Structure 1
Amino acid sequence: MTFSELQSKINAAKPLDFGTIFNNCIELFKKVWVQGLIMILITIAMLAPFYIIMYLPMVAMGIWNPEALQDNNVNPFLMIPFVVFMLVFTFFAMVIAFGLKASFYRICKAKDLGLVEKDDYFYYLKKPYLVKVVKLALISYGISLLAAMLCVLPILYVIVPISLMNVIFAFNPELAVGDIVKSSFDLGNRKWLITFGLIVISGLFAEVIGLVLCGVGLLITASFSYLPVYYIYKDSVGFEPYELPLE
């Protein structure tokens, strides 16, 4: 799909129904909860070593000299490497999460449409997509930091286009980075309220059900909160005829 075709479909997008999309998310989750769980576990496994590297020196310092971590005794020069590493780690985490989530949306499409495809969780973390994933993650990171600096309301606004950026890339990886970003804001502006509402409600729903399942269930239900934007894209833009299964 070309950028102009994508824009035309976004501009011509029909009104969406909250209840229909939420119900569709439940039905799709029944098909992809295992894949969603695997994606979450892969994310944790890939990021866990960096959490250890980041916090192990502080833990060691606290054990060796507990007074060193008190407010009045913290050396500001020792905090600079920690802050720098934390920023770099956060960006790295966003790259991993962006690529895995885009790959998960590709799996969702296959399960939803009944396509026979391999569950490749690293599809967008390999050539030729990795560079584009890094650029999009960097843009998302920059937008998020800027919104955070501008306080609460901008953060609430950018949640929608940033979420849509991932799914638009997943189904249009051939588009230029700038076109993907622009399309995510265009679709987000047109469908902001319903998208934001679905993101919030699905997140709360996943958390409540996960807690009912004794906490560990949060790992199982976490991916449910990713599904609404799949249907926002599908019901607004749709897929090309050649991508659909034969009748």
Structure 2
Amino acid sequence: MNSTEIKSRIENASALDFGTIFNQSIELFKKVWVQGLVTLLLNMVLAIPVIMVVYIPLLFFGFISALTVSSSYDSYDSYGQSGMSVIMVVVLVIVYVFMIVAMSAIGLGLKAAFYRICKLKDLEQMGREDYFYFFKKPYLGKTIKLGVAFTGIAFLATLLCFLPIIYAVVPLSFIVVVYAFNPDLSISEIIKLGFDLGNKKWLISFGLMIVSGFLAMVTGFLMCGFGLYVTSSFGQLPAYFVYKEVVGFDDENEQMRRIEQLSTF
């Protein structure tokens, strides 16, 4: 399915029923809560190396700074300390940006793979539950670039104060869904279609996100806190059903052929 056809379906989409999508999300959650938990745990595990990469420079410069302070008392050493501080700030900024982009790419890739698993469970298809689908050779570069774009959009919306980020959270969620089922589109097409779908169905999507997220949080707390890890994926399911109702999917045989091809890498 090309971007023109997807855009046409979005523009001609009929009204959606809040209750129907919410009930469908509940039924699908019963089938995919384990996969949602695995996705969350994988996200946490993959974040550990990223955090270590961040802390190693911090520890190194902290050690160097401590040695410099303890052994410097003249003006030349003060100048050296100033230069070291500037270098440390630059390195910290670079490392921080790397961490944000890496975390965004990891989260985006895992969430997109989760949506593909949701499709398998929802349509009762046979296929491999591949959590690393978007970290393989064909899509790794695109996942990283889309993670950079995702972070940039979120950061820009945050800088514009509170209301823009509330608006942007819906299109950003659909960017992941569009990427999950149309990974061969260009990054600009994926972002544009995500915003097109988010604009078209913003109100119902935002309402579903708020209600499902609140329900997941309350249920998680009732399950002694740890349940939050189990129920967190429920908040992601309404976006899947909005996409399914508005855009739909390619020919199922073609989709399964792609899955089998990529599973051999």
Superposed pair shares fold, TM > 0.5 = yes
Cα distance in 1 for partners of 2:185, 2:90 equals 38
Give the aligned partner of residue 14 of structure 1.
Answer: 14
Written as runs of structure 1 = structure 2, the 5 A alignment for 1:111-122 is 111-122=121-132
Q: Determine helix, strand or coil for the equivalent of 1:156.
A: helix
Quote the residue 2:138 is aligned against: 128
**Is 1:183 matched up with 2:193?**
yes
- Measured against aligned partners, the alpha-carbon deviations of 1:129-156 in whole angstroms (never above 9, x if no partner) come to 1111112111111111111111011101
TM-score (norm 2): 0.82
Larger mean Cα displacement after TM superposition, 76-85 or 36-45: 76-85
Please give the alpha-carbon distance, in whole angstroms, between the structure 2 residues aligned to 1:206 and 1:240. Answer: 31
2:103 corresponds to which letter in structure 1? A
- 1:124 and 1:130 in contact (8 A); partners too: yes
Structure 1 unpaired stretches of 5+: 69-74
Shift of 1:14: 1.1
Q: Counterpart in 1 of 2:35?
A: 35
RMSD of aligned C-alpha atoms?
2.5
Partner of 1:139: 149
Decide whether the 8 Å contact of 1:10 with 1:236 is kept in 2. Answer: yes
Runs of 4+ in 1 over 2 A off after TM superposition: 48-58, 75-84, 240-245
CA-CA distance at 1:172 after TM superposition: 0.9
Q: Which residue identity lines up with residue 3 of structure 1 in the other structure? A: S
Partners in 1 of 2:254 and 2:203 — Cα distance? 29
- Tell me, what secondary structure is at the counterpart of 2:122? helix
**Structure of greater Rg:** 2
| Cross-structure match for 2:47 | 47
Question: Contact conserved, 2:170 with 2:198, CA < 8 A, in 1?
Answer: yes
Q: Which amino acid aligns with 1:240?
A: D
Letter in 1 for 2:205: T
Q: What does residue 167 of structure 2 align with?
A: 157
The share of aligned pairs that are identical, in percent, is 46
Distance 1:235 1:244, change over 3 A: farther
* Conserved? CA contact 2:177–2:240, under 8 Å: yes
Displacement of 1:52: 4.5
Please give the per-residue CA displacement for 1:46-84, whole angstroms capped at 9, x wherever unaligned: 1023334535757x96xxx8xx9xxxxxx9644543343
Inter-partner Cα distance in structure 2 for 1:219 and 1:85: 28
| Number of aligned residues | 237
Corresponding residue of 2:107:
97
Any conservation in 2 of the 1:113–1:244 contact (CA below 8 Å)?
A: no
Residue 15 of structure 1 aligns to a residue in which SS?
coil
Q: TM-score, normalised by structure 1?
A: 0.88
Which residue of 224, 229, 233 maps to 1:223?
233
Q: How far did 1:158 drift?
A: 0.8
8 Å Cα contact 1:3-1:179 kept in structure 2 = yes
- 1:209 aligns with one of 211, 219, 227: 219
1:242 partnered with 2:242: no
